[in-house]
Amino acid sequence: WQEPVTFEDVAVYLSRTEWDAIAEGQKELYRSVMLDNYTLLTSLGYPGPKPDILYRLERGEAPWV
């Protein structure tokens, strides 16, 4: 038996220091990958609520926790 994959299983969280240290192109890639991961999970039937980090990324805000 295998547990379903959750967003937490595929998410990568960055601290404010890590976020500030990466280039703008890397920030855009991070946004794209995180949003794509969620889209793919929901297409597979992921039932969980949309994580707050995704709302921040969609609004162009920094994602650190």
Range of the domain at 32: 7-59
Kindly list the distances between the CA atom of residue 30 and the CA atoms of 2, 9, 34, 47, 52, in Å, as whole numbers in the listed order.
Answer: 28, 16, 6, 23, 15
d(CA 43, CA 39): 6
Q: What are phi and psi of 10, to 5 degrees?
A: -115, -5
Residue 64 lies in a domain: no
The model carries a pTM of 0.86
pLDDT per position as a tens digit, 17-62: 999 999 999 999 999 999 999 999 999 888 888 999 999 999 999 9
Number of domains in the chain: 1
Residue 65 lies in a domain: no
Which amino acid belongs to residue 6? T
Residue 2 lies in a domain: no
d(CA 57, CA 50): 12
